[in-house]
Amino acid sequence: MPLPTTPSARIKGNNLLFQINTTGTTWKDFSYDCITFKVASEDASNDQTTFYDASVGGGVDLYAEVELIQSTEATSLWQYMYANPGKEVNFRYSPHGTGTAVGNPNTADKPGYTGTIRMPRLLAAGLGGTASADGTWASDTVRVDIVGTLTVDTTASTWARA
């Protein structure tokens, strides 16, 4: 891998795309309800390590930290989580917002990511909050486990905002 000769392009957090496959081929865009969406990893929580796990430094669990607006509207992310505790669903995520329009596809430098997530336990996002001058509440940050692997999508695919 060659060393860089110019500064790396930063990810700017104003065009994130986060969608869940809610039914069949229907993708629901929940980007509008997300305040924070961050994919992370930690040492695997299981007490069994395979030889493969040991050869690559140990097992890893992937998850996303999601902070979302509180909304009990039927189409909101909060309501989807509330109605589907423990459900495993396919998701796609683009921190660059790529893949959202023709001419703005996923690329090697600006990939999208796909995988399966497990919805958190009932009311993990919380309901209610502290008084504020403008009257709005955000949820607590919710952990959403990624089941299996996270796939990098550089295929120049276009994911329409749904």
Smallest CA-to-CA distance from 22 within 73, 88, 86, 71 is with 88
According to the per-residue pLDDT averaged within each range, which of 6-15, 121-130, 141-150 is highest? 141-150
Mean pLDDT of 23-52: 84
Distance (Å, whole) CA 100 – CA 123:
30
Q: What are the residues whose beta carbons fall under 8 Å from the beta carbon of 132, sequence distance 6 or more?
A: none
24 or 64, higher pLDDT: 64
Phi, psi values for residue 44, rounded to 5°? -55, 145
Q: How confident is the model at residue 11 (pLDDT cuts 50, 70, 90)?
A: confident
pTM of the model: 0.82
Distance (Å, whole) CA 162 – CA 157:
15
Q: Are 94 and 113 in contact (CB under 8 A)?
A: yes
Which two three-digit tokens encode residue 15? 């065009």
Strands (E), the chain: 17-23, 26-29, 34-43, 60-68, 88-94, 112-118, 142-153
| 103 pLDDT above the threshold of 60 | no
> String of b and e for 71-101 (b: at least 16 CB within 10 Å)?
eeeeebbbbbbbebeeeebebbbbbbbbbbe
Q: Are 39 and 58 in contact (CB under 8 A)?
A: no
Mean pLDDT of 37-61: 79
Distance (Å, whole) CA 101 – CA 118:
28
